[in-house]
Amino acid sequence: MKLVLIEWIDSYSVYEQWDFLSDLEEPKVIKCKSVGFVVKETKESIMIIPYISGEDEGGKGGICIPKICIVSTTELNGITHLINHDEGMGLNILVTECCGVGPITNENYCPKCGKKINRL
């Protein structure tokens, strides 16, 4: 499965209550970044899931993003999987491999060849 970083524009709710139109804030754009495995894709949308169990049997936390909202999509080559250390905190570490050495989680450079490892 392909692992991607998608940068996209989202909508937001302005106010929950009635208010004077003259008091409304200026509209703004909400920029989002999502990382996940591409599990489904159509001409209009892409579905990614950050958590996949076992042999691709199940997943959790998926999102379907309309392609019209996507600013950019970057395939994360060299990243082999995501480790979720604390689901409640949403803390994820991208695990990479380089030169047959891996997983590399904490270093910024490959311990074998010295190549810089780009982190998100």
Which domains are assigned to the chain?
Answer: 1-11+27-76 (2.30.30), 78-120 (no CATH)
- pLDDT the model gives residue 29: 86
Contact 102, 108 (CB under 8 A): no
What is the rounded radius of gyration, in angstroms, for the C-alpha atoms of the chain? 18
Q: What is the mean pLDDT of residues 61-76?
A: 93
Q: What is the mean pLDDT of residues 64-71?
A: 96
- pLDDT the model gives residue 9: 95
Q: Which of 36-45, 64-73, 103-112 has the lowest mean pLDDT?
A: 103-112
- pLDDT the model gives residue 63: 94
Q: What whole-number distance in Å separates Cα of residue 115 and Cα of residue 95?
A: 15
